[in-house]
Structure 1
Amino acid sequence: MTLPSSDSPLRVGVAGLGTVGAALARLLLTRAQELSAEGARPLRLTAVSARDASKDRGFDASGLTFHANAADLARDPNVDLVVELIGGEDGAAKSVVEAALETGKPVITANKALLAAHGLQLAALAEKSSVPLLFEAAVAGGIPAIRALRDAVPGQKVTRVSGILNGTCNYILTRMENEGIAFDDVLADAQRLGYAEADPTFDVDGFDTAHKLAILTSLAFGTEIEASDMYVEGIRAITPDDMAAAAELGYRIKLLGVAQLTDTGIEQRVHPTMLPLDSTLAQINGVLNAVAIDTDLLGEIVLSGPGAGGDATAASVLADLQDLARGLEPKPLRLPRGTLRPYQKARMRAHEGGYYVRLSVVDKPGAFAAIAQRMAEHGISLQSIVQRRKPTDTGPHSHQPVIIITHETMELSVREAMDAIVADGHVNAAPQIIRIER
């Protein structure tokens, strides 16, 4: 079903009234005249769905139809399109989106988990019903990264998409660097301030970034969404010592999501990365996000701004609403579902920037020589090796922090060398390995 072009209001139903949903409802109710002036059709909020109808969310809901069941909102005859802001890859979020698409109603969602898990199925359902499925707010909050890949980049060859895609991690790393405090202490403070969830696993272990990256990858390279087959590493293991070493070497540590086109497929990875201090992404601090898109004609395009929060995410949802109000109906994944190529994971290859490796080496004769030998056996050339002796750490079972910087090498080689060093008994803790971007 295609929305008719008319002066009649475009009736909006919002499923989920958390931080983002409540912010969107307030904007639709208080700025209706301004929004109508900017779009081909007026926008009118007519229905909402949430678990608790009585909760005060900062707007007058007396004139709205309330649905306890989100799927009922999708079937409401007084709703022309559905905005899903419930969250989660299954349950009510999936049900309301499917119900809306099956009923022939456009859907706007900010749900990256849902898209990463079921995006292909939902895109096919949207195409079958001939209605739009839009999701600008699903990646990087208020940054128009989806719009850039969907509307501005086609006709160019995208070779790489990378970004700082999680504000919680960026906030934690920024404070660790600036204040020299440990991960656990910053995390506790972030939870107190509302920047981190009570269970921060999804954010700090990299899964949130992975879901967002999978969506960007599909749009950038015209492939099916694949969120499960990528290397994902979070930031729990980063220490103040790593931060200090990075600064001494002229780098800053950020959690990056990277998707890169290679001759063997697509490389998708999420992990802490050392970036040169003068690089664009290294300047993105606090809760801000950024997305960098490398193209053959324009070079690198960098978009940055608020990556989360009610107003920023609601603004991205409004942008999608305005597109529908103007009669624009882009394909969900830029290309028709049937033309998306199967995702092909790239082979592990040489990394252009080398690696930072921190080892806790048992202080015994021959340990350093044995470590260097293991690195040589795996074809790893060392740029530098620095022993950071701790004066208070002495005795027969003492250990010394050792930092190794490698030249360009294969990641597989580094991992195998570290496994051998651990097996030899020369270290008393898991090695810390961080990629270095040049």
Structure 2
Amino acid sequence: MMRTRPLKVALLGCGVVGSEVARIMTTHADDLAARIGAPVELAGVAVRRPAKVREGIDPSLVTTDATALVKRGDIDVVVEVIGGIEPARSLITAAFEHGASVVSANKALLAQDGAALHAAAEEHGRDLYYEAAVAGAIPLIRPLRESLAGDKVNRVLGIVNGTTNFILDKMDSTGAGYQEALDEATALGYAEADPTADVEGFDAAAKAAILAGIAFHTRVRLDDVHREGMTEVTAADFRSAKEMGCTIKLLAICERSADGTAVTARVHPAMIPLSHPLASVRGAYNAVFVESDAAGQLMFYGPGAGGSPTASAVLGDLVAVCRNRLNGATGPGESAYADLTVSPMGEVVTRYHISLDVADKPGVLAQVATVFAEHGVSIDTVRQQSRNPGSGDAVAIEQGGGGPREGGEASLVVVTHRAFDASLSGTVEALRKLDTVRGVASIMRVEGE
């Protein structure tokens, strides 16, 4: 039988996501009540600009005093979609202390202080759910911490930022440069006026920390995630990728070491084979590829941002938390029992695609090969092109053709076998010091093979 007293919900933030949450709570009220077993009532909405007209929201519910709202004592669930570290952290903690469970979409806060928030939720016997913090509408957090709870996850490889995927996809499909693709993303509303959080990988790194922590039952903080942005990716990189049968994506990669004693989390652009499922993820979509012992390979795909998709994930958590509330129970909390070592980037095993500008004269290949050998890095393939002096044209050098002609410049592309990232980066630094190397034009990791 349905309980007649409604469960009261406080909404912190009423922007793109918050306003959509409020709209769905109103328009789908009967369905939500039937699924939960009790009505849900929007009891208050905390905003910074109360004078703004918010269609469909009773103005009497709007307040600027978020602290008073979460401390009311009659609030069952607080939905936090304001983002950032403060005041979100203090408000969530206060919500727990005053008896409310919390649904959050705050990836930055969870990546930085997730352990403390989980501890506060557990102390007060309340829920902390955050499906919307990673990959928008895609069900990912709950499958990792519930559906795969009996399995051993070894790797999580994903495209978790729609803005960067749109830009890279545009560069790949049209040959556009980075700035041109970014300008189009901004015009279409995919990129913020200040796109730094997206294009420099900060957004994806926060999501990687959350995913790694859940997947490996180990506390992984934002500071543990190696991060590189994608602003240096060029049209020439895409041409090289296509020659290898690859494309380029900004990836969040979380993986367990071969011996199972450590984990790593990283975000950076990488070449992946066109045969890999993630290579076909286009536009602003997200996808996450999970590899586990028993389930094998799984891929989760869908819209990773936007008001409606993110609100869908928030409402899914709201239903789950309200059901728990009615049953006097709580859902899964933090699982960090494994407490594995979080290794630095240098201990990651990967491959490099390196493009060098070199002097066009005999002996260059031998010098370069010697540097790789001295650092214990094995070369997979080498491709060299000679440029005719003054013309800018590249002429491929055939194997056994006697080497480059003297006096010009050449482009040398080396793809390595798998090696420790520290050895690979050390190789690159040594190459920079060679007199015959005019410059390192590009460095790109190769993943997904």
> What TM-score comes out, normalization by structure 1 length?
0.92
* Aligned with 1:428 (options 439, 442, 448): 439
Change (3 A) 1:165 1:103: same
Matched to 1:86, the amino acid is I
Matched with 2:397 is: none
1:345 matches 2:355: no
Distance of 2:57 and 2:70 partners within structure 1? 21
For 2:63, the equivalent position in structure 1 comes to 67
SS at match of 1:55: coil
- Residue of structure 1 in register with 2:111 after alignment: 116
- Sort the Cα spacing of 1:65 and 1:357 in 2 relative to 1 into closer, same or farther, 3 A: same
CA distance in 1, matches of 2:17, 2:101: 19
1:92: Cα distance to partner? 1.8
The alpha carbon displacement at 1:362 in A equals: 4.3
- CA distance in structure 2 between the aligned counterparts of 1:388 and 1:110, rounded to whole angstroms: 49
Partner of 1:329: 330
Corresponding residue pairs, total: 428
Q: What CA distance in whole angstroms lies between the structure 2 residues aligned with 1:350 and 1:85?
A: 35
Partners of 1:70 and 1:400 in 2: CA distance: 62
- Asked whether the 8 Å contact 1:46–1:78 carries over to 2, the reply is no
SS state at 1:427 partner: strand
CA distance change for structure 1 residues 371 and 213 in 2, over 3 Å: closer, same or farther?
same
- 1:75-154 to 2 correspondence within 5 Å? 75-88=71-84, 90-154=85-149
> SS of the residue aligned with 2:58?
coil
Q: Secondary structure at the match of 2:433?
A: helix
Sort the Cα spacing of 1:55 and 1:408 in 2 relative to 1 into closer, same or farther, 3 A.
same
- Percent identical across equivalent pairs? 38
Q: CA deviation at 1:50?
A: 0.9
CA RMSD of aligned residues (A): 2.3
* Partner Cα separation in structure 2 for residue 199 and residue 300 of structure 1: 36
Q: Distance in 2 between matches of 1:398 and 1:51?
A: 62
Structure 2 distance, partners of 1:177, 1:94, is 40
- Distance in 2 (CA, whole Å) between partners of 1:111 and 1:398 is 54
Greater CA drift, 218-227 or 321-330: 321-330
Does structure 1 residue 173 correspond to structure 2 residue 183?
no
Deviates most, 30-39 or 342-351: 342-351
Structure 1 residue aligned with 2:422: 412
Question: What is the CA distance between 1:431 and its match in structure 2?
Answer: 3.9
Q: How far did 1:381 drift? A: 2.3
Task: State the Cα distance separating 1:366 from its structure 2 match.
Answer: 4.1
Q: Under a length normalisation based on structure 2, what TM-score does the superposition of the two structures give? A: 0.89
Secondary structure of the structure 2 residue equivalent to 1:428: strand
Residue equivalent to 1:28? 25
Gaps of at least 5 residues in structure 2 are 394-405
Describe the SS at the equivalent of 2:203.
Answer: helix
Deviates more, 1:356-365 or 1:79-88: 356-365
* Matched-pair contact (CA < 8 Å) for 2:353–2:413: yes
CA distance in 2, matches of 1:159, 1:406: 24
- For 1:268 and 1:362, how far apart are their aligned partners in 2? 37
Give SS of 2:100's match: coil
Cross-structure match for 2:300: 303
Structure 1 Cα separation of the partners of residues 57 and 224 of structure 2: 45
CA 145–75 in structure 1, closer or farther in 2 if over 3 Å, else same: same
* Separation in 1, partners of 2:429, 2:217: 37
**Which range is displaced more, 306-315 or 73-82?**
73-82
User: 2:415 corresponds to which letter in structure 1?
Assistant: I
Residue 439 of structure 2 aligns with an amino acid whose one-letter code is N
The residue type equivalent to 1:158 in the other structure is V
Partner of 1:164: 159
- Written as runs of structure 1 = structure 2, the 5 A alignment for 1:227-376 is 227-262=222-257, 263=259, 264-327=261-324, 329-333=330-334, 335=335, 339=337, 341=339, 343-345=341-343, 348-349=346-347, 351=349, 354-363=351-360, 366-376=363-373
1:379-399 deviation per Cα after TM superposition (whole angstroms, max 9, x unaligned)? 2222222234455339x9964
Contact 1:418-1:431 at 8 Å conserved across structures: no
Pick closer, same or farther for the CA change 1:405–1:60 going to 2, 3 Å. same
Q: Which has the larger radius of gyration?
A: 2
Structure 1 equivalent of residue 392 of structure 2:
393
